[in-house]
Amino acid sequence: MSSLLIVAEHRNGKLKKSSFEAISKGASVAKDLGLTAHVLLVGGNEVAGLTAEAANYGVSSILTVTDPKLSAYANRAFATAVSEVAKAKSATVILLSATALGRELGAFVSVKLDASLASDCTELHSAGGNLKVIRPVYTGKALSTVELKQPVKVITLRPNAFPAVSSPSSPSVEAVSVTFSDKDFACKVVDTITASGKLDVAEAEIVVSGGRSLGSAENFKILEDLAAVLGGAVGASRAAVDSGYRSHEDQVGQTGKVISPKLYIACGISGAIQHLAGMSSSKVIVAINKDKEAPIFQIADYGIVADLFEIVPALTEELKKRSH
């Protein structure tokens, strides 16, 4: 029987939230299309500890490919693992998160399985048994409906664009054996550098972002304080990044990250078209800016026309007060 395969991603012994989103979506798509859903975990010994959690989002069949050599990410080996499992399970739909890892594996698997690929999708409809895939193009300035012509379809889902719906079940775990060649390990991760506890703007549910009017890297501290109270991440406009206030991995916009958080708070950002393209699909947008003509107010749900240096600390205090 044909199946739908969801590739779950884990780091530091924990499954990623975006994988729960993909599993939830995969469970409902599989039901609509009449496919059996499987979650695939690839990795070293740490995988055994992840199967229970993987079964909490509507799919109980967990497949594992484990090998001590897979405890560090090696893109070609992981791609071989996913492709081999997809073949063994006659998968016709393969879902991944549109993360650094998911985007890379998606493209590999597409070539290995002669499958159509749609990356970074924000909508996936399967009612009536037909798959309809929608993805933003031109950095969110347009939405495209993509026809996937091949019998096998690989789809990566944008983090935060789909809800993770908890639906606990007892996992049935099957270890799948895959044979690797030396070539599979010719490109491998030897170290990971993480800013301690730093949340990535692309994955955060709440993003507090600043523009050039912050005036210095030090002044971003007030945005960090606000983000900390909200459990969010700090982003920046291109102007702020080019001025050296933040590093480019925090940049939101057309040549930075394109994000869809639950809440986006734009502080002192005027809203150049390139920036709007990167964040306009946020669910709720708050703008704080002195200039009432700033384009950011045209897409903001809530605006405060005032100096961010007065508003942001007051907002942080108010939120602190209420959390007690």
Give the footprint of other proteins on residues 103-142 (CB under 8 A). 103-104, 106-108, 110-112, 114-120, 135-142
155 binding other proteins? (CB under 8 A): no
User: Smallest Cα–Cα separation from 204: which of 230, 182, 233?
Assistant: 233
By beta-carbon proximity to other proteins, the closer residue of 88 and 284 is 284
Euclidean distance between CA atoms 258 and 201, whole angstroms: 9
Name the segment binding other proteins (CB under 8 A); options: 23-31, 43-51, 57-65, 251-259: 251-259
267 binding other proteins? (CB under 8 A): no
CB 150 within 8 A of CB 140: no
Euclidean distance between CA atoms 112 and 184, whole angstroms: 13
Euclidean distance between CA atoms 8 and 285, whole angstroms: 30
Helix or strand (DSSP H, E) at 36 = strand 36-43
By beta-carbon proximity to other proteins, the closer residue of 100 and 175 is 100
CB 59 within 8 A of CB 48: no
Report phi then psi at 173, rounded to 5: -105, 130
By beta-carbon proximity to other proteins, the closer residue of 174 and 307 is 307
CB 217 → other proteins: shortest distance, Å?
A: 16
Q: Which of 5, 50, 230, 266 binds other proteins (CB under 8 A)?
A: 230
By beta-carbon proximity to other proteins, the closer residue of 45 and 255 is 255
Enumerate residues 303-322 that contact other proteins by CB under 8 A: 303-306, 310-311, 314-315, 318-319, 322
CB 82 → other proteins: shortest distance, Å?
A: 12
CB 9 within 8 A of CB 99: yes
Q: Which of 60, 66, 251, 260 binds other proteins (CB under 8 A)?
A: 251
Q: Which of the 8 DSSP states describes residue 200?
A: P
Enumerate residues 57-86 that contact other proteins by CB under 8 A: 73, 75-76, 79
Enumerate residues 165-224 that contact other proteins by CB under 8 A: 183, 186-195, 198-200, 202-203, 206
CB 51 within 8 A of CB 41: yes
CB 173 → other proteins: shortest distance, Å?
A: 27
* Burial class (CB within 10 angstroms; exposed 0-12, middle 13-18, buried 19+) of 319: middle
256 binding other proteins? (CB under 8 A): yes
- Cβ neighbour number for residue 130 with a 10 Å cutoff: 9
